[in-house]
Amino acid sequence: MATAPGVASFDPIVRRTNGSSWNHSQERRLSSARRDRHDAGVIVSPADAKTPTHTWVALLSLLVALAVLAVKFWAYVSTGSQAVFSDALESIVNVVAAAFALSVLAYAGRPADRDHPFGHGKVEFFSAAFEGGLIFFAALLILWQASVTLWRGASVQQIGFGLVLTVLSGLANGGLGLFLVRYGRRHGSMAIEADGLHVLADFWTSVGVLVGLAAVGLTGVQWLDPAVAALLGVWLLLTGWRLVRQAFGGLLDEEDPVLLRHLVEVLGPRVRDGVIRVHQLRAIRAGRYRYISAHLVVPEFWSVERAHDAAEALAAEVLREIPGDGDISFHTEPCERAYCAMCDLEECSVRQQPFAGLQPLTVDEAVQPDPGAHGRS
């Protein structure tokens, strides 16, 4: 058998099948050498990728938030509605959060350096946590003001004019929120996505305000206005808590089920032609950056060069289909004839079982350590 460049000049499998004499010490040495040939990793990142800072999106969010805030306070001054006031308080949070996100995204867009070898993307989680905390605080203020108004009695006026202004601000928030969420998910920016979710929450508070004002206008029951404001406060408490919880999960490198499922969907159809299985899949997010590592099971007779080329090609394909920027580290392991039934490589000369068919890759399998035959004689 021809020897690949850089590979030991022996092949233990061929010698065994040829019936040569063999002893356990030789087997151990060659088994170790066989692993040395494949214990190689590949780290791939998009070298030509342009890293956008997304600051123009955050600036757009800030400008719209300022305009909406002005309209909502105009509506509050005109109507005296506590529901409109709660909606306006939420818009103050929008302005502060958008300004904070603007500065955070400018910092997060900096490239990796000596002090931050994995980049600055995790600062986006601080932005999301800060925004969630602001929402939570605004919700407490809304609940307090609604309670005071329920106790003292409410007085709402110019309901029609308030409805018009609330509809205008609500439409602006709805359009902006959908844009921010889609943009953030497409580019993998949690700060922008969190800002979009916050703006959408503001949109739903505007819907609640419309319901409250309409109810007061139709029934004349004034206490319905602060009651709606209280319900909005509870809704915002839950929204703020969810944002803070998600941000802290990212800071602690919590498993991202959505990202893992996406990775398995991308990797699954590519587990063939020598890439036999994928194990020990790990993935974390740092803002819009993705750091992914996995073990690839490859044919034991492949050279380091061939295994490296296959891993590099697979990593490049994955990067093209995962949103945001990222690094992928693939470690290759020899199959040790433990996967013959699911290996479709036709050129295999050491097969011990016939190929039975490709097996679908699942998340549960991909995240587990390699259950292969390491250490077997």
**pLDDT category, 55, cuts 50, 70, 90?**
confident
CB burial of residue 153 (10 Å; 0-12, 13-18, 19+)? exposed
Q: Give per-residue pLDDT as tens, 193-247.
A: 878 877 887 787 777 777 777 777 777 777 777 777 788 778 888 888 888 887 8
- The predicted structure's pLDDT at residue 243: 80
pLDDT score of 3 more than 50: no
Indicate yes or no: pTM above 0.85. no
Q: What pLDDT score was predicted for residue 26? A: 39
- Helix, strand or coil for residue 83? helix
Structure confidence at residue 152 (pLDDT): 67
> What is the predicted pLDDT for the residue at 277?
92
14 or 190: which leads in pLDDT: 190
- What pLDDT does residue 83 have? 64
What is the rounded CA–CA span in Å between residue 57 and residue 116? 25
**Stronger pLDDT, 376 or 248, i.e. the higher one:** 248
pLDDT of residue 296: 93
| DSSP assignment of 190-238 | HHHHHHHHHHHHHHHHHHHHHHHHHHHHHH--TTHHHHHHHHHHHHHHH
Residues 322, 186: Cα–Cα separation, whole Å:
9
Q: Please, what's the largest Cα pairwise distance for the chain?
A: 100
pLDDT at 16 over 60: no
Which of 241-245, 319-323, 332-336 has the lowest average pLDDT? 319-323
pLDDT recorded at residue 298:
92
Q: How confident is the model at residue 160 (pLDDT cuts 50, 70, 90)?
A: low
d(CA 90, CA 69): 9
pLDDT mean across residues, the chain:
74
Crossing angle of the two packed helices 123-152 and 82-108, in degrees rounded to 10 = 170
Q: What is the pLDDT of residue 372?
A: 53
DSSP 8-state code for residue 16: H
Does residue 31 carry a pLDDT above 90? no
- Mean pLDDT calculated for residue range 313-321: 86
Distance from C-alpha of 154 to C-alpha of 220, rounded to nearest angstrom: 11
Q: In Å, how far from its chain's centre is CA 238? A: 21
Domains of the chain, earliest start first: 55-251 (1.20.1510.10), 256-366 (3.30.70.1350)
- CA-to-CA distance for 46 and 190, rounded, in angstroms? 20
- Report pLDDT for 72: 80
